[in-house]
Structures are given as C-alpha cells and as structure tokens.
Structure 1
Amino acid sequence: MHAQIVLFDGFDLLDVIAPYEVLYAGGAASDGAVDVELVSAEGRREVVGGTGGVTLWATAALDPERAGLVVVPGAAGRVGTPGETPDEDAGARTPDEFLSVLLGRAVQTGLPSLLKAAMDRPGLTVATVCGGSLLLGLAGLLKGRRATTHHLALETLAETGAQVVPARVVDDGDLVTGGGVTSGLDLGLYLLEREVGPKIAHAVEELFAYERRGVVWRDRGPAPSAP
C-alpha cells in the first residue's frame, strides 16, 4: 500500500508526524507492504507548518493514481473566527492565526480537486486527522458522509453537510477520520490493522509502547436504544 500524507501551508505538525511514523514502522514490520511519503498539491517543495514555523519537505505531488491511501492533516492555529481579514500580501503567517484562515487558504489551492479525485477513485482510502476532515468539508467533499474531527469543531463539521459521529476514529468505508490531534496514532494503527493485518498493527503498538483509545465507529450492528 502506497500512502501519501498531504502537506499544505499551516499544517499541524503532529497530525502529519504521528501517522507518518506509524505507517513507516508498519512498512518496516511488514517487509515493505506499506510505504509512505510526504506530498503537496504543488509537488516537491518546502512547506511551512503552523506550529512555530517548522518546515517539512514534500518529496512529490499528491497523485491519486499512485496512492492507495491519502492522509489529510489539519492546520495548527487558533479555534474561532478572525475579527479581520488577514493581509494576503504579507506573505508570512503568525503562529496564532485562526484555523479557519489556514484551512480557507488550503481550500483556495489546487488541493481540493486532487482530494476529490482521490475520493472518487475506487480502491483508494482517504483518511483525515483532526481538522483534516474540516478541510474536506469546506471543499464540499463530505456531504452525507460520516466523519469526526476535534471535539471543539464538531458543530462546524456538521455545517459542511457531514454526518458527525463523536468517536475517536470513524470508518465510513473509503473515508476514515480521526478526532483530536493525538488521534493520528490511533488512526494510523487502525489503518495498519485494516489494510495489512492485526499482527503488524500490534507489533507497531508494542514498538511505540502505545495502546489505541476508544472503539472505532463503523456502520455495523444494531443502533443503540435512546436513553
């Protein structure tokens, strides 16, 4: 399985690094059944994150024709609504910019069309960490889909047309979404279990000395009774 993790200006560092390390370790534990790379909509470039200006290098362009898994992180910034429009000509972001601004900028790039192509391609799974589902929602790609995000943004996610499920990880078939920022670990381990097998996922859990939290929500079984 070839995994591509998307970088965009203002990305959240842990949203990227947590699933990257899990998937990379899964590839090592499975003799190469998984490989992972960092990509951007624009191709090879240095991408500035939203956490203290830390930069990562995208080694290739996001390519839905090559990937079996595409992981979309959220942005790192303040939750809320900005009181004024930022100066788009300034060229630099401050570390405390609002998430809505950072995600809004990403939606104005070529990223949404590539993500739509990924979601339309049979056999490809799109996964998100934290605000990554908001990015998909703002791009109009989550209407009617079951998804989750950070607990402070569940209402905003619902406004994009998604069917919100307040779970740590939500499996909606070819769309798998994670909640808060640390859910990238849980998401990565679940994807390893689902795509490669529980033995590989368990080996990575042992390596990282981390146990997944919560039940992965899937559309199976009877619905719970009303309290």
Structure 2
Amino acid sequence: MSTLKILFVLYPGVTHLDFTGPHQVLSRAPGSETIVASLGGQDIEAEGLTFTNLADLSKVDRCDVICIPGGFGTTAAMLDEAFMAQVRRLGADAKYVTSVCTGSLILAAAGFLKGKRAACHWAWRSLLEPFGAIVGEERVVRDGNTITGGGVTAGIDFGFVMLEELAGRDYAEAVQLGLEYAPDPPFHSGRPELARPEILAQVKARMASATDSRSEAALEASRRTEPA
C-alpha cells in the first residue's frame, strides 16, 4: 500500500494557525507522510514565526491531499504565476483539494472552485464569487473532493473532517480526545452574527485597509482563470 501524501503549501504572509492547526491533526493520519513546502523551499515568516527546512514545491512530484492555508499573503500569492503553476499542477491530480480560511481564494484562482461550494474567512467570502464559486458559510464545506475550512480556527475542525475521511470516525475521535479538543471559548464573538455590533465594527475597520487591494487582486486573478 502506497504512503498517503499530505501536502501543506506555504507562501509569504501565511497565517500560521491556518497551517499549524490542521497540520497538528493530519500529521497523525496513519500510513501518511506530511510534506510542508514553499516555492523554492524558501523559509516562510508567518506573524513572527519562521518555518524552515521546507520542501521545494516544484520538486514535489505528487500528493493525495493538497491543503492551502490562508493569510494576508494570499493577495500576492494568487497573482504569483510561478507559485500558482505549482498549485495547479499538484492540485490537478490530488485526491482531495483543500484549504483553510482565505486559502480558498488561491484554490479559486487556480481554477478548482468554479461551480463548487466553498468556505472562506467571513470577511472575504464575497471574493470567491468572481471565480464562479458558491459561498458556503459553514465552518467546513465539502463539495465532492473539495473540502474547505472557514477562518483560521476552523482549520482544526477541517483537520478532523479530513482525518475522519482518511482514517474513519473512531480514529478521528481518538485523536480528538488525545489532543483534548473541546472548544469552550471565553467569549461568544467568533462569528459576525454572534459578535456585539461595536466589536464587529472595530474588526471591519481594521480589515478595511486590506479590502481594496485584496478585491483588486481577486478580480485580476479571476480574469486570468477565464479562457483566452
């Protein structure tokens, strides 16, 4: 039986919990090899943490699961043709095409989400629409072999959904218990419909500076996915 290859694709400006949350879960999948790669094998700085000793994305021959984490770096990544070429190459033959948070924008820019339901961080969901994707508001959205997680912490939920898919529910539940994953947040403000209006307004104001550039990048990337 061949080893199951799970590939996490990193890029400058990735959000580290988008990656490390599901990585913690999926690295425990039985009979699997977890690969973390970047373009050229470059070190990746992520909000004060640096990931090093990464595989060269262009030298990864194949994978069974490709996972694209999100982060503010998606704005540049989805317009980086060399990076996107590798995402398209590896995603084309993957058994599962997956993402966390705004990583779904990269999947969309690679042409994998047209006509499919997908999750994204709540603040950026609408940017999936120019790519022909259907916005899903759930923490984890599945459409065929495409499985996407919502914003940041939803990556852990995504990880367990994938682990159940790969190894069965009993195994996934055992890992959940081993990791003591029993969310009980001190504040119930983790989604816009739960947050107090003044808190929602604060967060939207902080994100506003990135809105125009990210929207422009999404529109440009969507144009590049259209047939010539």
For this structure pair, what is the TM-score category when the shorter chain's length is used for normalisation?
A: 0.7 to 0.9
- Counterparts of 1:5 and 1:12, CA distance in 2: 13
1:59 matched residue in structure 2? 54
Aligned letter for 1:148? A
Does structure 2 conserve the Cα–Cα contact (< 8 Å) formed by 1:11 and 1:73?
A: yes
What CA deviation, in whole Å up to 9, does each residue of 1:98-124 have, x standing for no partner?
x3xx32321214221122223321x52
Within 5 Å, which residues of 2 pair with 1:198-217? 198-211=169-182
- Counterparts of 2:102 and 2:180, CA distance in 1: 26
- Counterparts of 1:135 and 1:117, CA distance in 2: 13
- TM superposition shift of 1:16: 0.8
Which residue of 44, 61, 69 corresponds with 1:47? 44
Match status 1:69 vs 2:65: yes
Query: RMSD of the alignment, in Å?
Result: 2.0
Aligned letter for 1:170? V
Within 5 Å, which residues of 2 pair with 1:58-97? 58-62=53-57, 65-75=61-71
- Counterparts of 2:53 and 2:146, CA distance in 1: 23
- TM superposition shift of 1:156: 1.4
What CA deviation, in whole Å up to 9, does each residue of 1:134-174 have, x standing for no partner?
12223443221211101111111223221111111111122
- TM superposition shift of 1:209: 1.2
What CA deviation, in whole Å up to 9, does each residue of 1:23-78 have, x standing for no partner?
12x23xx3xx1221211132x221122x13x2102521236643111110001xxx
Match status 1:162 vs 2:160: no
- Counterparts of 2:97 and 2:163, CA distance in 1: 14
- Counterparts of 2:182 and 2:88, CA distance in 1: 33
SS at match of 2:132: coil
- Counterparts of 1:112 and 1:157, CA distance in 2: 16
- Counterparts of 1:128 and 1:135, CA distance in 2: 9
| Runs of 4+ with deviation above 4 angstroms | none
Which residue of 92, 112, 120 corresponds with 2:92? 120
- Counterparts of 2:135 and 2:53, CA distance in 1: 31
SS at match of 1:127: strand
Match status 1:103 vs 2:103: no
1:138 matched residue in structure 2? 109
Distance 1:141 1:15, change over 3 A: same
Aligned letter for 1:47? I
2:193 matched residue in structure 1? none
Match status 1:177 vs 2:148: yes
- Counterparts of 2:60 and 2:166, CA distance in 1: 17
Within 5 Å, which residues of 2 pair with 1:189-200? 189-200=160-171
- The number of residues matched between the two structures is 179
- Counterparts of 2:39 and 2:175, CA distance in 1: 30
Which residue of 4, 7, 27 corresponds with 2:7? 4
% identical aligned pairs: 32
- Counterparts of 1:212 and 1:198, CA distance in 2: 19
Aligned letter for 2:85? S
SS at match of 1:110: helix
In structure 2, list runs of 5 or more residues that go unmatched.
185-228
Aligned letter for 2:114? K
